Amino acid sequence: MSATDIDAREAEIDAIKQVVATVEHAQNNELPDEFLRLFRADAIWTTGGGKRLYGLDEISAFTRQVLPGGMQDQTVTFELEHVLFIRPDVAAVKLRQIYRTPDGLDIGTPLWVMAKEDGQWRLTASQNMGVPDDELESAERPIFGTTE
């Protein structure tokens, strides 16, 4: 890979990191419109609870129902663990999701598929699930974000 290609790849990763940061900001501040602007109209979203949502209308209805008040007494952070570029305009994005609640940590491991359209990375598909207990104790994970 040439230096130009590496720089271009890093710029795309930075743009993806911005989407991740926007999701984190929108959730922590309960801003459904900010969150929903990140999706393609035909997106597929599977929540941590396993609810499958097809298309922006279903994602929007669910988000507007659960997000206001949904972050009371908790915060979420996302750590970007890995980006696999399937094509230059399609990426599989692996995250570590950490909810801090009054009862402790709730760790998730979402996989987002993102597509670049009109110069913007959009959420296209997501699958979220919990993290096995043995991974919670592992300090050695390749990540771009910070750990605690």
Mind listing the pLDDT tens digit for each residue in 3-43? 887 888 899 999 999 999 999 999 999 999 999 999 999 99
What's the 3-state SS for 59-117? HHHHHHHHCCCCCCCCEEEEEEEEEEEEECCEEEEEEEEEEEECCEEEEECCEEEEEEE
* Max intra-chain CA distance, the chain: 48
Contact between 55 and 41 under an 8 Å Cβ cutoff? The reply is yes
pLDDT of residue 131: 73
Residues 69-117 pLDDT 10s: 888 999 999 999 999 999 999 999 999 999 999 988 888 899 999 999 9
pTM of the model: 0.86
* Cα separation, 49 vs 47, whole angstroms: 5
